[in-house]
Structure formats: C-alpha cells, structure tokens
Amino acid sequence: MSIGRAMLACSGAGGALAGLATAAIVRAPMGGLTAGGAAAGAFIGLLAGTAAAAPAAAVIGRGVERLRRSLLDGEGEDGPPDKLTRRLVGPLMGAIGEFRERTRAETRRATAGLRELEVRWRVSESERKRIESTLDSLRDAVIVTDNFDEMTMANEAAAALLGFDRGACERRPVGDLISDATLVRLIHQTRESGSLSGRKTVEYDLGGAPGGQPRSFDITMACLADHSGEGVGGVVTILRDVTREKEISQMKSDFVSQVSHELRTPLASINAYVEMLVDGEAKDESSRTEFYQIIKNEADRLGRLIDNMLNISRIEAGIIQVERTEVDFVEVAREVVEVMQPQARLKNITLLVRGGPSVYTAQACRDMMHQVILNLVSNAVKYTPEGGRVTVAVENDDASRSTLVTVSDTGLGIPPDALPNMFQKFYRIENYKRVAKGTGLGLNLVKHIVETVHGGQVGVQSTVGMGSKFWFTIPFEAGGRLAA
C-alpha cells in the first residue's frame, strides 16, 4: 500500500480523522511508515469502510487493535518501533480512538434514524395504498400532478379514460401521457395560477374511444399545497362523465315541450267550441249536440293523454305497483276482443282470437297485459279500413321460454322510414293523423310495460298496404327491472 493510495483512502473516509491522518503521514519519514505496512493496509481498509454502515465501528475496533499491536507493541514482522514512530503514531492512535467513539455514536444515531425513516416509509406507503384504493373505487377519473406537471398518482378510471399505462405513469410528464392537449393545458394553467383557494370547474367534451362519440365531462381542478403549506405543490384533476345527465336533461326538456304541445291541441279545440257555444254560433240543437260531442271527445283525449303520461312516468321512475299472477293470455285476449267488438262491428272488421288447446300462461301483471293487448287491438281496428280483419294469436315460444302474443291486421301498414320510430313517445305517422285520433303514447306505454316491467320484448313487421303485425313476448318466469 503506497502513501498516496493511503491518503486517497483517508480522504474517502472523510471528516477530521482523514485530515489528521494525512498530516501525520506527510510529516513521517518513509521508513517509519513502511515498518507498519501490513497494519496500515488494514487501517486504510477500515477507514474506507466507515462510511458504509453499522458494522464499521467493530471493524475499526479490530483494525485499531491490530495497528496498535503492530506499531506500538512491536508485534508485527518489523519488530519494536523506534522512538520517532512512537512519537508520531501515539497521537494518531488517540485520534483514531476518539474517531472510533464518535463513529460508534454516529452509527447508533444513523441506525436509529434509519429505523425511523423505514417506519415512516412504511406508514406513507400504506397511506398511499389506502389513497390509491379509495381513488380506484371512484367512477370519476382522478389524476394528481406535481409542480413539474408530472403524474404522481392516477386512478384506474383515469388510466382507462385517458388511455395511459397506470403501471408506468408515475413521474412522467402529463403531456407524454395524455394526448388531449386542452386537458394538459388546463392542468398547466391551474398550477401556474398559483391559487390555493378555490377550485375551477370547466365543462369539456373529450373524444371517446376511436370512432365513438365524444363524451361530456365536468373537469374540476384544484391546486395542492406544497410542504410549506404556502406554495403550490401540484394539481388534482377530477373528470366526471356528465354525458348521460346532459342527455336526460335534454330528454326532459324535449318531453316537457312535447307534452305542452300535445296538451295544448285538445285544450285549444275545447276552448274554441265552448266560445262558439257562448257566442250562440250553434243555432240549432243538432249543431249544439255536435259541438258538445267534440268537446267531450277532446276532453276524453286529454284524460287519456294524462293517464298515459302518468303511467309511463311511474314506470320510468320505478314507482309503479306490479302485482304478478299466473296470467292466461288467451283469456285476456278474449276479454279485449269483447271490449273492442262494437268498434270493430262499426267498420265491419272481423276480430278474432287464435290460441291452441294448450294453456298459455306467464308470470305477469294481468291489468297491464290487458292494457297492452287493448292498445294493440285498438290501433289495429283504428288503422284498418272497412271490411278488414284483426287477429290476436297467442302461442308459446319455447326457445325464449316466453309467451308470444301477436296482433295482426289487414290495414294501412307502416312505411319503412316510420318503423324505427313506432315505439317512441308522441310519434304519430303524419298521413294517418286524419285517419284516427290518438295521443302517440299508446305504443310507448306498451314498450314500457313489456320491456321495463316484465323483461319481455316488443316488435313490429309491416308492409304498406298489406297490414301490420305487432308482437310482444313475456317470459314465463317473472323478469324485468321492476321484477319483485
């Protein structure tokens, strides 16, 4: 071991001892030091090791002992030390001893500090996991960025929505992870604002999946305080999907305007006829009777409209009472045909029920099934010209384990472009408005009762001029959103 390397190693060990040892070596004659060459190697090695870890103190202890024995006690291969070596090495040994004590104390402190750090790290790690799992339980997307706009935390919803790999997102610039430049800019601007008070919410449309429709989000951003509590340490960004809410509020306002329009028409007609009666415009008894009849019809229509709307709203809100029993569909169809027979006879329409000898039953609300078949049969009679035929057929559909009811007519039929709209609220075929009065809610109610309440299906097939075939199925076992 050369003196130069020894000095290098000493300076690596650092601190007061290094300076002290170097000064002693520089002043010592070469021979004096070579006498303890083997021991010096151990000393240097131990000095280099002190910076490492806790066992260093013990290593120093052993090294110092060896050095003492070699240099001062003359136990080494070079024999007893001369006077100069003793004079030089004595204080050095004292300093080393002092250093050893200090190192021991330092090591104890460092070990305690290390333990405390480890405990703190474990606590913060479990805290972080708790926060992460809390964030993962949210449907809203949450991302947390630091004051370099680098991602520090993101929940699963955020990774899925913004399309980045959650496992490899930490400490990466948001601009590299999020392709939407506006969102990245919003995060940046929020942090730059430096405001710790309040939060900012913006409504923004984010492009959905490739080829999909953009979705609307309420983006809420707030600055997070740094360690001092005074500066900005990052930004938390929460994205809430409000697409459905917006659709519903649009549907509600559409519904309200449609309803007011539909209610206004019969009301206006009632008003007009009442005014004519008041003004004495109906001169004879037969005109007055005619006006009274029109007023009654319009009032009836208003009543039907309100009943239908209430029923649909109750089903949509899920607050309708459903009493399920084993319903015999042939029996219900016969009852409906009996009710509709007078109207059918007026137009010379043949009205019949077809059902095989077996029993066709399913778990359903009987009153609702009556309403569904009545709506379909009354439409069939309304939109079938004189001399036509309306047939109600009941059969079992074993494949779907449900009862299938079909109402066929030989009437006007439905144009292809109207078919997709048939079950929508207030939809009426323009050209048929002259043929019969209606509310445009009957088929929508049918769909709600069958699909929402009973978990069945409705459909229609038709050719203009050839008649229509409306059908619905009700599962043998109770189903649907409102199943008890």
Q: Considering only residues 468, 472, 474, 482, which one is a binding residue for ligand ADP as defined by CB under 6 A?
A: 468
Q: Is 392 left (phi over 0), alpha (psi -120 to 50) or beta?
A: beta
Q: What radius of gyration do the chain's Cα atoms show?
A: 46
Q: Measured at CB, which residue is nearest to ligand ADP?
A: 438
* Smallest separation, CB 176 to ligand ADP (Å): 54
Q: Under the criterion CB under 6 A, does residue 406 sit at the interface with ligand ADP?
A: no
Between 325 and 424, name the residue whose CB sits nearer to ligand ADP. Answer: 424
* Smallest separation, CB 405 to ligand ADP (Å): 14
Asked whether 340 and 377 are in contact (CB, 8 A), the reply is yes
Q: Is 60 left (phi over 0), alpha (psi -120 to 50) or beta?
A: alpha
* Smallest separation, CB 242 to ligand ADP (Å): 31
Q: Cα–chain-centroid distance for residue 273?
A: 55
- Which 429-458 residues touch ligand ADP, going by CB under 6 A? 429, 432, 438-444
Q: Which stretch binds ligand ADP (CB under 6 A): 182-190, 202-210, 242-250, 408-416?
A: 408-416
Q: Considering only residues 186, 422, 453, 482, which one is a binding residue for ligand ADP as defined by CB under 6 A?
A: 422
> Residues 6 or more apart from 6 whose CB is under 8 A from it?
25, 40, 44
Q: Considering only residues 380, 450, 453, 474, which one is a binding residue for ligand ADP as defined by CB under 6 A?
A: 380
How many Cβ atoms from other residues are within 10 Å of residue 262's Cβ?
20
Number of chain positions touching ligand ADP (CB under 6 A): 21
Determine the residue type at 140: D
* Smallest separation, CB 435 to ligand ADP (Å): 8
- Residue 258 CA to residue 265 CA, distance in Å, equals 11
Between 291 and 427, name the residue whose CB sits nearer to ligand ADP. Answer: 427
Q: Under the criterion CB under 6 A, does residue 411 sit at the interface with ligand ADP?
A: yes
- Residue 238 CA to residue 220 CA, distance in Å, equals 5
Classify residue 448 by its DSSP letter. I
Strand segments, DSSP code E, in 398-465 are 402-409, 457-463
Q: Considering only residues 217, 329, 383, 472, which one is a binding residue for ligand ADP as defined by CB under 6 A?
A: 383
* Smallest separation, CB 470 to ligand ADP (Å): 6
> Residues 6 or more apart from 92 whose CB is under 8 A from it?
20, 21, 24
Q: Under the criterion CB under 6 A, does residue 266 sit at the interface with ligand ADP?
A: no
CA atoms within 13 A on the CB side of 280: 0
**Which tokens sit at 409?**
């007519």
Q: Considering only residues 71, 154, 232, 414, which one is a binding residue for ligand ADP as defined by CB under 6 A?
A: 414
* Smallest separation, CB 295 to ligand ADP (Å): 19
Asked whether 435 and 422 are in contact (CB, 8 A), the reply is no
Q: Under the criterion CB under 6 A, does residue 379 sit at the interface with ligand ADP?
A: yes
* Smallest separation, CB 425 to ligand ADP (Å): 8
Asked whether 474 and 402 are in contact (CB, 8 A), the reply is yes
Q: Is 222 left (phi over 0), alpha (psi -120 to 50) or beta?
A: beta
* Smallest separation, CB 432 to ligand ADP (Å): 4
Classify residue 1 by its DSSP letter. -
Q: Under the criterion CB under 6 A, does residue 169 sit at the interface with ligand ADP?
A: no
Between 101 and 307, name the residue whose CB sits nearer to ligand ADP. Answer: 307
Indicate the Cα dihedral angle 469, 470, 474, 479, nearest 10°.
Answer: 140
Asked whether 17 and 96 are in contact (CB, 8 A), the reply is yes
Q: Under the criterion CB under 6 A, does residue 255 sit at the interface with ligand ADP?
A: no
* Smallest separation, CB 441 to ligand ADP (Å): 6
Asked whether 183 and 202 are in contact (CB, 8 A), the reply is no
* Smallest separation, CB 409 to ligand ADP (Å): 5
Q: Which stretch binds ligand ADP (CB under 6 A): 83-91, 149-157, 254-262, 427-435?
A: 427-435
Tell me which residues touch ligand ADP (CB under 6 A). Answer: 375, 379-380, 383, 409, 411-412, 414, 422, 427-429, 432, 438-444, 468
